[in-house]
């Protein structure tokens, strides 16, 4: 049987092939000539019954050769200049167990390229130029155990890309790519996985509980990513606290989180408790712990600070139909989450009328009288919580506006008088500036305006308008053509006399 490296991947990928190649070379020189196998040009073929192996490494190939025996069990095509894997390249190769395409320039995998490789156990695609893995790329690989995608330029992996081998995969290597987001929904279903390498990517977060069902996981490498925190996972309980020694049994779990900008507060205490003197995890923050190794920092220094409200909206007045924005800002470590409770005591979430932002703002885009009352913001984090009260007063609409310009006082604080209701409609030309009796605002409510103008004026072609409103010192102005006015401000109707 051919000496396959299908089991464990050697520790030093760069030399992975060369020694093997030389060994191969001698073996194949002996074997190749004797048989009448069709062998692709410049490749070496070996048939040791019942298995057939083809070696075409470093042969300057630009394509996958067409003359490959379809019964091949082992195919090595590393260190060539192959740029694409096509449908026909591996068609009908149902006996293939091991395929190496490492160190080519592959940037393209065409749909169904691997779909006949039902028995394939190991696929090496490391050191190529892949940028995305799509759902259809690996379809049909129903027996895959080892998938090596290290050292590409991957930034995206579709959520169903690994569906055909979720329960068979033992070894997944995604290291040295550009992944900001690992395919977590896929990873949490890799029930047979033993080794997971995701080191040297740009991963910023690990979802809670993602490793819970990976009972066979023995090695997890997340070195050199952008993780600031790592949620504890039931799986990590398998690591014997402080007791791990170099000769630990294979069943234990090896975790590597070094080279991440870890924020060392109480949330990482669990990891501190697992750390041994030879671990390389360091803290990036807070400042007083920065660059220190985990194991040098006493547990008591992994602390969190409860939230403190630093800023919140004062008593807020809004007119019916107008938007309102309530703000609550809190500091703490970790960064507090802010939730809002309505005056009736309900937790407010995003809806068609309300938006709750992570920074603590609550926006109500159309207020109603019922919104009046005391809102409560609750800032909470791992260390505690802190609450604040913001009173919102929603006032009824102003009285019917007078159609003539009246004195405006933009600094007026009190609704309803803070809504300016002058009509000042600018028509084309300059003859209508100022209070123009030919154009009048006859009715104004919180969300509609009725504007009239004489037909004589309209024959001059009314296309533009400008409405200004003042609100507690703010002057907003809206302008546009008539149609837009109607749409944007739900302005009842614009009619003409
Ligand atoms: C694969 O097998 C089918 C059916 O036996 C045949 O038509 C086709 O030409 C084969 N393709 C290759 C690339 O050998
Ligand atoms: C309020 O927000 C909802 C959803 O975001 C939107 O459908 C609705 O048109 C908004 N209303 C106003 C007056 O902006
Ligand atoms: C509500 O929507 C905003 C804007 O789309 C988003 O930033 C925010 O995270 C959402 N809040 C929640 C609690 O989902
Ligand atoms: C919070 O974020 C929202 C949307 O990004 C923004 O409108 C609001 O002004 C922010 N609030 C604060 C207090 O920064
Ligand atoms: C809001 O709370 C303040 C202080 O407790 C109280 O005086 C006020 O009446 C409350 N407002 C409403 C609408 O309940
Ligand atoms: C509108 O203004 C006119 C004079 O400018 C005045 O006679 C009238 O009473 C005003 N109407 C309202 C509703 O204020
Ligand atoms: C407005 O129009 C008058 C004549 O109708 C003209 O004398 C005046 O210069 C114009 N003003 C501006 C600012 O265009």
Q: Which domains are seen in the chain, by residue range?
A: 305-395 (2.60.40.10)
pLDDT for residue 443: 58
Q: Has residue 255 got a pLDDT over 90?
A: no
Of all protein residues, the one whose alpha carbon is nearest to atom 5 of ligand 4 is 357
Count of Cβ atoms closer than 10 Å to residue 362 Cβ:
23
pLDDT band at 203 (very low <50, low <70, confident <90, very high): very high
For residue 116, give the ligand nearest its CA.
Answer: 1
pLDDT for residue 270: 86
CA distance 222 to 198: 5
Going by C-alpha positions, the residue among 274, 198, 271 that lies closest to residue 283 is 271
Tell me which residues have their CB closer than 6 angstroms to ligand 5: 372-374, 391
User: What is the phi/psi pair of residue 232, to 5°?
Assistant: -65, 150
Of all protein residues, the one whose alpha carbon is nearest to atom 8 of ligand 6 is 402
Going by C-alpha positions, the residue among 64, 65, 23, 62 that lies closest to residue 46 is 23
Of all protein residues, the one whose alpha carbon is nearest to atom 12 of ligand 6 is 402
Mean per-residue pLDDT for 21-37? 46
CA distance 6 to 174: 17
pLDDT for residue 233: 85
Atom of ligand 6 lying closest to residue 399 CA = 13
pLDDT band at 473 (very low <50, low <70, confident <90, very high): very low
Is the CB of residue 362 below 6 angstroms from any atom belonging to ligand 3? no
- CA 357 to ligand 3 center in whole angstroms: 5
- CA 485 to ligand 3 center in whole angstroms: 28
This prediction's pTM: 0.64
Of all protein residues, the one whose alpha carbon is nearest to atom 4 of ligand 7 is 431
Is the CB of residue 437 below 6 angstroms from any atom belonging to ligand 6? no
Atom of ligand 2 lying closest to residue 447 CA = 13
**Strand-strand pairing, 122-124 and 146-148:** parallel
Under 8 Å between Cβ of 374 and 389: yes
For residue 406, give the ligand nearest its CA.
Answer: 6
CA distance 224 to 59: 35
Residue recorded with tokens 């090695």: 219
Under 8 Å between Cβ of 360 and 329: yes
pLDDT for residue 488: 32
């Amino acid at each position: 049987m051919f000496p396959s490296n299908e089991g464990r991947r050697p520790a030093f990928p760069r030399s992975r092939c060369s020694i093997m190649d030389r060994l191969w070379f001698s073996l194949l020189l002996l074997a190749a000539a004797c048989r009448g196998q069709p062998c692709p040009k410049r490749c070496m073929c070996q048939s040791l019954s019942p298995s057939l192996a083809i070696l075409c490494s470093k042969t300057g190939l630009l394509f996958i050769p067409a003359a490959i025996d379809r019964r091949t069990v082992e195919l090595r095509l590393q260190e060539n200049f192959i740029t694409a894997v096509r449908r026909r390249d591996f068609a009908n190769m149902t006996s293939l167990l091991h395929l190496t395409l490492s160190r080519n320039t592959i940037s393209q995998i065409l749909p169904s390229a691997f779909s006949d490789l039902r028995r394939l156990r190991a696929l090496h695609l490391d050191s190529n130029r892949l940028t995305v893995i799509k759902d259809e790329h690996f379809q049909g690989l129903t027996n895959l155990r080892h998938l090596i995608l290290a050292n590409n330029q991957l930034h995206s992996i579709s959520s169903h890309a690994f569906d055909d081998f979720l329960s068979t995969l033992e070894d997944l290597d995604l290291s040295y790519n550009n992944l900001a987001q690992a395919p977590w929904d896929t990873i949490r279903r890799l029930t047979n996985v033993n080794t997971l390498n995701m080191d040297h990517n740009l991963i910023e977060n690990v979802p809670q509980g993602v490793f819970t069902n990976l009972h066979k996981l023995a090695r997890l490498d997340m070195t050199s990513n952008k993780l600031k925190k790592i949620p504890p996972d039931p799986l990590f309980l398998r690591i014997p606290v402080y007791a791990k020694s170099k000769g630990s049994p294979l069943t234990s779990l090896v975790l590597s989180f070094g080279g991440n900008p870890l924020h060392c507060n109480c949330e990482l205490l669990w990891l501190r408790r697992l750390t041994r003197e030879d671990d390389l995890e360091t803290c990036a923050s807070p400042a007083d712990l920065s660059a220190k190794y985990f194991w040098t920092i006493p547990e008591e220094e992994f602390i969190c600070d409860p939230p403190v409200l630093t800023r919140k909206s004062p008593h807020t007045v809004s007119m019916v139909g107008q938007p309102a924005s309530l703000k609550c800002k809190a500091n703490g470590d970790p960064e507090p989450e802010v939730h809002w409770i309505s005056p009736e005591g309900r937790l407010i979430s995003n809806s068609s009328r309300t938006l709750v932002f992570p920074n603590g703002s609550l926006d109500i885009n159309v207020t109603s009288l019922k919104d009046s009352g005391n809102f409560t913001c609750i800032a909470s984090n791992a260390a505690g919580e802190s609450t604040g009260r913001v009173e919102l007063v929603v006032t009824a609409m102003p009285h019917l506006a007078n159609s003539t310009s009246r004195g405006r006082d933009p600094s007026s604080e009190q609704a309803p008088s803070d809504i300016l209701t002058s009509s000042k409609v600018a028509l084309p030309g300059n003859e209508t500036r100022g209070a123009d009796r030919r154009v009048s605002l006859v009715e104004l409510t919180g969300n509609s305006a009725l504007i009239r103008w004489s037909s004589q004026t309209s024959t001059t072609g009314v296309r533009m308008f400008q409405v200004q409103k003042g609100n507690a010192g703010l002057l907003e102005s809206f302008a546009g053509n008539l149609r837009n006015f109607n749409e944007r401000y739900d302005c009842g109707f614009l009619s003409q006399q």
